[in-house]
């Protein structure tokens, strides 16, 4: 019945256009971030399983190594594709902050893995001390939570927009005070 009302289709188109105008840049950033993250995720998953299964590394060591390698790929993809339009600061600053926030993301994923394997695994070892449980805890729960944190922190602190005030305590803030 809303189609019979005069101006209803036009209003919906106007609403959608308004939302795209307002949030289109965010949708494009999220899409690129998801693509880069998806590739890094596949590398992380493959390397983790190779190290844990073929090389018999402990799950926590395998996860740490696979995350560092995948994070390097993600940094390059995000700097030179996802947020290439954003102001560049000192490359060492970006790289250090990127890996700091990746370390927090790694902590989230490893924490989920450790809770599953060693916490819940102590209660139900047949369920939670398996390769499937390690993958679900690490890659579904841990990576999901870590990804939300990473997107927010990269946008806010690493790949800042021109005119965005620097995070407190950064060299930019100290230079402006001098």
Residue 40 lies in a domain: yes
Residue 86 lies in a domain: yes
Token code pair at residue 91: 């490359």
Token code pair at residue 177: 């005070």
State pLDDT tens for residues 13-48: 777 777 667 777 788 888 999 999 999 989 999 999
Residue 2 lies in a domain: no
Enumerate helices (H) and strands (E) in the chain, giving the number of each: 8, 0
State pLDDT tens for residues 57-82: 999 899 889 988 998 899 999 988 98
User: How many CA atoms lie within 13 Å of 87's alpha carbon, on the beta-carbon side?
Assistant: 12
Residue 69 lies in a domain: yes
pLDDT at residue 178, as a whole number: 41
Residue 165 lies in a domain: yes
Tell me which of 131 and 6 has the higher pLDDT: 131
112 lies in which domain range? 8-177
Residue 166 lies in a domain: yes
Residue 3 lies in a domain: no
0.75 cut: is pTM over it?
no
Rounded CA-CA distance 78/33 in Å is 7
Mean pLDDT of 125-129: 91
- Structurally, the chain folds into a number of domains equal to 1
Rounded CA-CA distance 108/9 in Å is 45
State pLDDT tens for residues 135-173: 999 889 998 999 889 989 998 898 887 655 555 555 544
pLDDT at residue 14, as a whole number: 77
Rounded CA-CA distance 56/49 in Å is 9
For 74-137, the DSSP string reads HHHHIIIIITTTSPP--HHHHHHHHHHHHHHHHHHHHHHHHIIIIIIHHH-HHHHSSHHHHHII
pLDDT at residue 174, as a whole number: 42
Residue 58 lies in a domain: yes
């Amino acid at each position: 019945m809303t189609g019979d009302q005069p101006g209803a289709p036009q209003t919906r188109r106007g609403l959608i256009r308004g939302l795209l105008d307002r949030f289109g840049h965010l949708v494009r950033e999220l899409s690129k971030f998801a693509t880069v993250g998806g590739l890094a995720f596949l590398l992380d998953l493959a390397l983790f399983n190779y190290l844990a299964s073929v090389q018999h590394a402990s799950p926590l060591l395998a996860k740490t190594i696979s995350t560092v390698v995948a994070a390097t790929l993600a940094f390059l993809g995000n700097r030179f594709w996802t947020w290439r339009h954003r102001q560049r600061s000192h490359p060492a600053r970006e790289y250090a902050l990127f890996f700091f926030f990746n370390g927090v993301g790694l902590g989230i994923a490893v924490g989920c893995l450790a809770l599953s394997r060693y916490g819940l695994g102590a209660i139900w070892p047949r369920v939670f001390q398996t390769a499937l449980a390690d993958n679900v805890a690490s890659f579904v729960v841990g990576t999901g939570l870590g990804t939300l944190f990473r997107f927010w922190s990269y946008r806010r602190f690493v790949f800042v927009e021109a005119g965005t005030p620097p995070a407190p305590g950064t060299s930019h803030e100290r230079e402006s005070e001098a």
